[in-house]
Amino acid sequence: MTSHSTSGKTAQQDALSGATVLVVEDDLEDAHLLLDEVSALGGRGLHADCVQSARAFIVENTIDLIVLDRMLADGEDGLALLTWFRELEAPAPGVLVASRLSTSDDHILGLELGADDYINKPFDPRELAARLKALMRRAAAARSPESVQIWGDLEIRTLNKIALWKGDPISMRPQSFAAFSFLALHKGDYVSREALWRAVWDKYKNLPPQNTVINNEISRLRGSLNGLENGPKIVSENLGYRLVIED
């Protein structure tokens, strides 16, 4: 994953001024062409070569526009990113699909899934610039969904109270989800029993941590995680608990 910053000024270089554009493209030549055009229009370009990397960028950055290829490095259709936004019930940034899949059915599918525009490859750089400028003018000020956490293959949707491992939901009780999402928020750092108690059992946060209650919930949570292939593990030591994901 790489980042491109703006440099120099031209007469039209304010079209994307202040905007961050995520280019989701696995062909490096096409990616550089797109990033150069974003830079020429005054924007800041970010590059991801697969859907998973794109999701991480969207969660960690304020993205204004996305230029989205369909046939990506991980074999996934780029339109899966649009499906992800729909599952989250979150507004997507402005999306321009740039693809060699160029039939009318391809265009219709992309637009129906939430893309704002569709351009066929190979494209004229002038047309690309015109479409980016038009998209920026009409794109809503939608921002990345702050209710989503992504850590490797783990995705936590705190608004909908859903945890997914490699795209599949993890079955767990609401209380277990609250404990799991709090541990995941700290990404491998220890969480004390006191902090866990206050965060998960907030109605009783003025009481001392109830060890039996905490132990039972951690046991249930471990049971939910045990069946996952190379899934997250909960480590328990004197410092408290931490969630571990193997690289």
Instruction: Note the pLDDT of residue 160.
Output: 84
Poorest-pLDDT segment among 3-7, 63-67, 109-113, 157-161: 3-7
Instruction: Note the pLDDT of residue 7.
Output: 41
Inter-CA distances, 97 with 4, 118, 186, Å: 20, 5, 35
Looking at the predicted structure, is the pLDDT value of residue 10 above 70?
no
**Spatial contact of 40 and 32, defined as CB atoms under 8 Å apart:** no
Looking at the predicted structure, is the pLDDT value of residue 98 above 70?
yes
More reliable by pLDDT, 11 or 4? 4
Query: Rounded to an integer, what distance in angstroms lies between the CA atom of residue 76 and that of residue 215?
Result: 40
> Which two structure tokens, joined as six digits, stand for 47?
């590059």
**Spatial contact of 84 and 92, defined as CB atoms under 8 Å apart:** no
For the chain, which domains are there? Answer: 2-138 (3.40.50.2300), 148-244 (1.10.10.10)
pLDDT band at 32 (very low <50, low <70, confident <90, very high): very high
Instruction: Note the pLDDT of residue 13.
Output: 61
Query: Rounded to an integer, what distance in angstroms lies between the CA atom of residue 92 and that of residue 192?
Result: 36
Query: Rounded to an integer, what distance in angstroms lies between the CA atom of residue 168 and that of residue 175?
Result: 19
Instruction: Note the pLDDT of residue 9.
Output: 44
Instruction: Note the pLDDT of residue 162.
Output: 92
Instruction: Note the pLDDT of residue 142.
Output: 45
Query: In percent, how much of the chain has pLDDT > 90?
Result: 52
Q: What is the pTM of this model?
A: 0.64
Looking at 61-157, list the stretches that DSSP marks H as alpha helix, in order from N- to C-terminal side: 80-88, 104-112, 125-138
Mean pLDDT of the chain: 86
Dihedral (CA of 161, 197, 216, 244) sign: positive
To which residue do tokens 């750089």 refer? 125
Find the mean pLDDT for residues 127-156. 77
Find the mean pLDDT for residues 205-221. 89
Instruction: Note the pLDDT of residue 8.
Output: 40
**What three-state secondary structure class fits 12?**
coil
Looking at the predicted structure, is the pLDDT value of residue 141 above 50?
no
Query: Rounded to an integer, what distance in angstroms lies between the CA atom of residue 219 and that of residue 55?
Result: 31
Query: Rounded to an integer, what distance in angstroms lies between the CA atom of residue 15 and that of residue 40?
Result: 9
What are the tens digits of pLDDT across the range 60-94? 888 999 999 999 988 899 999 999 988 886 667 89
